Each structure stands twice: as C-alpha cells, then as structure tokens.
Amino acid sequence: MEEWRSGNRFFYSYTLPLLVFLGVLGVLAVQVAASQTETPPDGAVLFRDEVVSAERKLRWKGPELSDETLFAVAFSGLSWDPASSGAPLFLRSKTGVAYEGAPIRLTGFQEARSGGRHKIAAAFAFSLVLDAGALEVAAWKLAFDYLDHFGVDFDAALVGVLQAPEKLPLLPDYLYTAMDTLVHRSSPRLLPLFLTLADANDAYLRSRAVAGIGIAAFRAREGTESTYPGLPIPLKESSISAAQRRMIGEVLQRASEDSSYRVRAAAALALGLAGDDSDLPLLERLAKDRAFILVALDQKNARRLLFPVRVQAAASLARFGKTIDSGGGALIGKDLAKAIRGGRDVTRDETGIRRDLIGRVRFHDGLW
C-alpha cells in the first residue's frame, strides 16, 4: 500500500504535470498547423476599408482608378504599408516605391500566415507572385497556392495591375508578371479578358492572352495525355459554348499570322490545346515558321539554334498523332549557315514589347 501511495504521489507530482504540459504543446502545434492551412477570409471583406480609402491614402491626383485597380492597391498593401517580422513590405525613397528583398518578403509572408494575419500575408504573398526575385520556383508556388484561396479576388487584383495607370506607384512595373500569373490561372471565367487582350498593341500581352485562351479552352483528345511539353499548368477540359469556340477559332487564326513570333508561337500552343482536326493546316504552316533564335555555346563559334514557333507547332501536332522534326540543335560553321538560310533571326527582337517589363514568371519553357 505504501509503495502504491509513493508511486501515486510521484505520478501527481511529476508525471501528470508533464503530460498536461505535453498536451498543451500538442494543442498549440495543432493550432499553428491549422493557422498555416486555414482558408483566408473573403478578400472583398478583408480589404473593404482599404479599398474605400485607397485613393486618399495614395494622394492620387491622376485619372480615375478602376474598381480592380483600387482593389489591387489595397490587396498589394500599397496604400497601407504592411510589415511582418519587423520588416516593411516596401522601401520608399524620393525616387519612388520598391519591394523589400525577396527573402525578407518570403519570411514575412510565412510569419504572417502562420499567425493567421491574412491581410498582411496576402500583401506579402502578392509581392512574391509579382516579384520572387532570385528565390526558387517553390517559393513563388507557395505564395501562388495561398492566394489561390482568394479565388476571383486574386484575379481581380491581377487585373487591377493590368489596368493601373502608368504613373501609379509600383504596380505598372509588374504588368507582364501579372499577365503571366493570370495565364497560370486560365479558366473560362478569364476568357473575355484574354479575348480582349489578344488584340492588344503590346506583343507580350497578346502572346500571353493567346496562350491563356488555349489553356482555358483546352479540349481533351482521346489517346493523348492532359499535359503539354514545357507547360507546368494543370489542363482541364471545361464547357465552352459553340459561339465561344467560333470566336476562339477566329482569334487563333489571326494570331497564327501575327507579325510577332511570340504571338505565332502562342498560337501554335493554343491550337494544340483547344483546336481540332480542322486546325491541322494552320499547325503545319506554323511548323515551317522562319523565326529562329541563336544561343551562344561554350565551344567557339558554336550556337544552339532554336525555332520557337516550330517547337510549339511540333508539340501541338504530336497531340494529333503527327511527328515532325522542328529542326535546330547545336550547330557550327556550314551546318549552322545551312540551317538558318532563308530564316529570320529574332534573337534580339524586342518589337512591340517593353524590355524593362519582361516577366520574371514563365508559364512554359519556350523562349518567347
């Protein structure tokens, strides 16, 4: 009996408090894990006050901002300067506004998210989607997947960047990366936007819009995989009306004849994703496109030759059971001269694009 009492006293004096302590730690761990995976609240509600005060806080005197741009200003934190882990999201100086370094912003995003501070986490994540700097793709994907929970509000913020007036602080600098990110989110819901931008004056925007159309209007083919070489985006067949299909066909026809090789390459991709057998003549013509890019190799005078439009056309034709050689490869001397004869060198072609805005986010592996 005395031994039992002695053991019981030990249990209540030492073991029980330890179990309670471990239990508390377990609860805290669950709470932290839950806060990291918790679905963020509705974006329109979360940023309602910031949207209302956005122009006033920015002291904006320019043209009227669209509803989407007002939301982008609020969503990005541009009008309220969020901070996390003691670090600000923005660096402000007499010359303008810039983002803090990407590693600091990644830490800030993770800290705010784990603490359930979704308003701050969203602003930091949005900055990483627009500008991940030299961070690995995994960091960009982490931010993208978090913002994906905001659904149409995420889309609205990206569209707001596209609509931002040129003199608005910071956001216009990310026109191309916002467009690239919208392509990652391609869906029938975004088709009206893509169809409109397919006629944009900017060749980069046109090419991304055409690619987005192909992804959004993806048509599965029997006996082929629901993937596309070099395209790290899930492909899903959606319901597209016959009228929309006709409109898409007209846009892709025009894109296949565009003066920009970037747009023609996008058309080749889109035709492979959303086209049918009637589009084979277009793809076969694009498979003979003359545009080429030369990349210097270590070996003296050797070059890697790439035909960007042909590569996309070949990948698309493969979905129709047709195999072709797109040409190119590592070449030198007479072999190189022969391969590029009659072609058009677009290695440094910046026609119709803004070099200062070339996107940091790529939705495919092609050089266009």
Query: In this predicted structure, which of 22-26, 39-43, 110-114, 138-142 has the lowest mean pLDDT?
Result: 22-26
Q: H or E segment at 208?
A: helix 203-216
Residue 38 contacts by C-beta under 8 Å, 6 or more apart in sequence? 116, 118
pLDDT reported for residue 20: 38
pLDDT reported for residue 217: 97
In the block, residue with structure tokens 């190119």: 328
Residue 131 contacts by C-beta under 8 Å, 6 or more apart in sequence? 99, 102, 174, 177, 360
* Whole-number Å distance between alpha carbons of 342 and 322: 25
Share of residues in the chain with pLDDT > 90 (%):
82
Q: Which residue has the higher pLDDT, 4 or 347?
A: 347
* Whole-number Å distance between alpha carbons of 237 and 219: 6
* Whole-number Å distance between alpha carbons of 202 and 30: 49
Alpha carbon distances (Å) from 72 to 57, 190, 200, 237: 14, 17, 21, 30
Q: What token pair was written down for 112?
A: 């705010």
* Whole-number Å distance between alpha carbons of 262 and 291: 10
* Whole-number Å distance between alpha carbons of 45 and 75: 11
Distance of CA 74 to the CA centre of its chain: 20
Mean of pLDDT values over 212-240: 91
Mean of pLDDT values over 339-361: 94
Give pLDDT tens digits for 233-243.
989 999 999 99
**Confidence tier at 13 by pLDDT (50, 70, 90):** very low
pTM surpassing 0.85?
yes
Instruction: Decide if pLDDT at 10 tops 90.
Output: no
The dihedral formed by the CA atoms of 231, 234, 236 and 240, expressed in degrees to the nearest 10? -60
3-state secondary structure string across 114-147: HCCCHHHHHHHHHHHHHCCCCCCHHHHHHHHHHH
* Whole-number Å distance between alpha carbons of 363 and 306: 18
Which among 173, 178, 165 is positioned nearest to 97, based on CA atoms? Answer: 173
* Whole-number Å distance between alpha carbons of 8 and 191: 71
Q: What is the DSSP string of 10-41?
A: HIIIIIHHHHHHHHHHHHHHHHHHHHHHPPPP
pLDDT reported for residue 326: 95
Instruction: Decide if pLDDT at 41 tops 70.
Output: yes
* Beta strand 90-93 pairing with 96-99: antiparallel
pLDDT reported for residue 162: 98
In the beta sheet, which residues pair with residue 280? Answer: none
Q: Which residue has the higher pLDDT, 10 or 184?
A: 184
- Amino acid identity of residue 99, one-letter, is Y
